[in-house]
Structure 1
Amino acid sequence: MLRHVAYSIAPGSLALSRSVLDRAADRRRDDDWLDKAWAAPDTQVAVVIGDKLLANSDRTALRFVSPAEAPEGTRIFLGIDRESGAGQTADGRAVFGILADGEPDESYAGLRELGAVLNDREAGIAVNLIGLANWHAVHTHCANCGEHTVVVEAGHVRDCPACGAHHFPRSDPAIIVLVTDDQDRALLGRNGAWPEGRYSTLAGFVEPGESLEAAVRREVLEETGVIVGPEIEYAGSQPWPLPSSLMLGFYAKAVSTDIEVDADEIAEAKWFTREDLRALVEAGTMALPGSISISRRLIEGWYGEDLTGSW
């Protein structure tokens, strides 16, 4: 059951959920159109090596190249910029990605560095391309028979030539939740692998046959021993393509406050008032998730304004 919890994430604040490019999925099987789009001089190509994107010198934007300048690699059709007024047809300018081999040099940067500074258009391109790059990297062979797969549909499908299986990119749903109690304190935890003072909201993957609400209750109970009641409110979602997660954000109300951490994933969990949180953050003894994370936005949605300091 979903009920109103009264906190919210500011619209447009989820850095990796922004996108304006039309993915134009209907063009992925149109080889003639794709060939013409690739040959158009104003087509833009984003380049990725591993999980790093080709960026401009000051790391504030992607650096696009022309098809003629693009390196060798797997070609991905990402979509059409319909508002550009350019392009080889009336559709608009085509945008492709190249999954290049090799080691990235200093001209490449990752999503953690770029995500918060890219504009809406480039943020959507970056997340899509990184997600597909990670998927291609681990799906070179058929999960059904083990044969090497081939890339089809402009990089969005891999087919098995032996058994005929079609393999599509997947996103693994994961819940991430800020739990509050009757005193309006927030429950934050520290992963055992993190240094002292680093805290975040609780999160975990949704299991087969499990609803999102059930996943919220199970993860919170498993990790902290806290029982979540009927009040669970969906707050927003954000892709996290490292490698293939879709983070589904929630606010939830606890009906118990005793904490007993699992000592596996969570080494420490505490209830924080707003005053506690602000004092610790300002003193530099507590670090919150970075600005591109949905966790940070959940915390700030509860707190009521932006906070300083991050990992």
Structure 2
Amino acid sequence: MRLAASVTFGGSDLDRAAAERKDAAGLARLLAEGGQVVALWRGKPLVAGDPAGGDCALVMLPSGDPVLKPASEAPIFLGRIEGQAVFAQDISSWTPPEPVDEAQIGAFLDPTVQHHPGAPEGTAFRELRAIMTTLSARDAELAATARALGNWHLSHGFCAKCGTASVMTEGGWQRLCPDCGAHHFPRTDPVVIMLITQGERVLLGRSPGWPEGMYSLLAGFVEPGETIEAAVRREVFEETAVRVGRVDYLANQPWPFPASLMIGCRGEAISDEITIDPVEIEAARWVTRSELLSVFAGQHPEIRPARRGAIAHFLLEHWLADRLD
């Protein structure tokens, strides 16, 4: 797909400098000699700017900044931008001065904002989903990488082989068990997301807990021993009972919520009767091209579009414009 590089989180000029991860002393020097740090609080990056204005930017803090003091582990080495070393550090143990609404933070889209009194003026910790389209390609890749790695460290603190507390190593790209010596690596979960069409219609569904009226493409995890094409056919049939024939790959998107790779595919439906699995989805429906135009224009009486910045929105937008090839 010619325009796939424009997918949010789709990549930029970040040099991941993987060869430098093994040099712990070298990374410490880089950090001390001008390394910049992206701060995360419960997966939310510290950013400057107002998303309502469409322009946010990651805040880069110097090593040793007081904001980073609550960090419980060493910074994660993200790579280099124009030669400059960039790290990320989690400060989730910090308690914001404003009350924390746990229900909001755990929601589909966290609208809350946390201000650190020691951070630069005009900055705040904001939910990445809410600001992803306001970030530059470079900042989006850094934020997605930092969030995915940070979440992995928070949820994988113990050795899966023997249960001993593990330690961060390789610049944050591995965890090592000091007891049995097992190495653990960040996981990425492959997910198929499907543009299922039949003529001038596209199949949309919605999950419980989504904002009212929001519909998107069907999606599901690839299972062990399964091809991408088989996963597309299985997931669509399980969720809607619609059978799919030909499947083609279109594009992909890193999706750090918490750590997936969304594999965008197009599938041709060979049946059209829908019977949903209520355990999997809340509703599904066929939507014509003209209907989808009204959805994107915000004029459909029942359907709201997939969130801008998500690969579902990207694929639907390019299907409407006949730019999938």
Matched, 1:241 2:233: no
**Cross-structure match for 1:309:** none
Picking from 64, 68, 71, the partner of 2:68 is 71
For the 8 Å contact 1:48–1:130, the answer to whether it is kept is yes
Matched, 1:271 2:286: yes
Distance, in Å, in 2 between the alignment partners of 1:211 and 1:249 is 14
Distance, in Å, in 1 between the alignment partners of 2:212 and 2:41 is 33
Distance, in Å, in 1 between the alignment partners of 2:301 and 2:39 is 37
Offset of residue 103 of structure 1: 3.8
Matched, 1:125 2:142: yes
Matched, 1:168 2:165: no
* CA gap 1:109/1:193 in 2 versus in 1, 3 angstroms: closer
**Cross-structure match for 1:32:** 25
SS in 2 for 1:16: coil
Distance, in Å, in 2 between the alignment partners of 1:136 and 1:218 is 32
For the 8 Å contact 2:4–2:252, the answer to whether it is kept is no
**Cross-structure match for 1:148:** 165
Matched, 1:17 2:10: yes
Q: What is the TM-score with the length of structure 2 in the denominator?
A: 0.84
* CA gap 1:103/1:250 in 2 versus in 1, 3 angstroms: farther
Offset of residue 163 of structure 1: 1.1
**Cross-structure match for 1:204:** 220
Distance, in Å, in 2 between the alignment partners of 1:137 and 1:155 is 12
Distance, in Å, in 2 between the alignment partners of 1:11 and 1:177 is 15
Count of residue pairs brought into register by the alignment: 287
Offset of residue 9 of structure 1: 7.2
Q: For residues 201-245 of structure 1, what are the alpha-carbon distances to aligned partners after superposition, in whole Å with 9 as ceiling and x for unaligned?
A: 00000111001000000000111111101x211111111111111
Q: Which amino acid aligns with 1:201?
A: L
Picking from 165, 187, 195, the partner of 2:203 is 187
Gaps in structure 2 of 5+ consecutive residues = 97-113, 116-123
- Report sequence identity in percent: 42
Q: For residues 79-130 of structure 1, what are the alpha-carbon distances to aligned partners after superposition, in whole Å with 9 as ceiling and x for unaligned?
A: 012x3xxxxxxxx211111112324523101211221111111111100000
Matched, 1:254 2:251: no
Distance, in Å, in 1 between the alignment partners of 2:78 and 2:158 is 23
Determine which structure has greater relative contact order: mean sequence separation of CA pairs < 8 Å that are 6+ residues apart, divided by chain length: 1
Distance, in Å, in 2 between the alignment partners of 1:202 and 1:297 is 14
Distance, in Å, in 2 between the alignment partners of 1:109 and 1:57 is 10
For the 8 Å contact 1:9–1:297, the answer to whether it is kept is no
Distance, in Å, in 2 between the alignment partners of 1:35 and 1:186 is 52
**Cross-structure match for 2:318:** 301
* CA gap 1:193/1:50 in 2 versus in 1, 3 angstroms: closer
Picking from 26, 48, 52, the partner of 1:56 is 48
**Cross-structure match for 1:89:** none
Offset of residue 285 of structure 1: 2.9
For the 8 Å contact 2:4–2:251, the answer to whether it is kept is no
Matched, 1:45 2:60: no
Distance, in Å, in 2 between the alignment partners of 1:139 and 1:228 is 37
For the 8 Å contact 1:47–1:98, the answer to whether it is kept is yes
Distance, in Å, in 2 between the alignment partners of 1:46 and 1:238 is 22
Distance, in Å, in 2 between the alignment partners of 1:203 and 1:173 is 11
* CA gap 1:11/1:194 in 2 versus in 1, 3 angstroms: closer
Q: For residues 272-308 of structure 1, what are the alpha-carbon distances to aligned partners after superposition, in whole Å with 9 as ceiling and x for unaligned?
A: 11112233541453111111101111111211189xx
Matches within 5 A, 1:60-99: 60-69=56-65, 71-72=68-69, 73=71, 74=73, 75-81=75-81, 83=82, 92-99=83-90
SS in 2 for 1:96: strand
Structure 1: 4+ residue segments shifted above 4 A: none
SS in 2 for 1:282: coil
SS in 2 for 1:220: helix
For the 8 Å contact 2:76–2:87, the answer to whether it is kept is yes
Q: Which amino acid aligns with 1:49?
A: W
Offset of residue 196 of structure 1: 4.9
SS in 1 for 2:148: helix
For the 8 Å contact 2:203–2:287, the answer to whether it is kept is yes
For the 8 Å contact 1:10–1:301, the answer to whether it is kept is no
Q: Which amino acid aligns with 2:9?
A: L
**Cross-structure match for 1:290:** 307
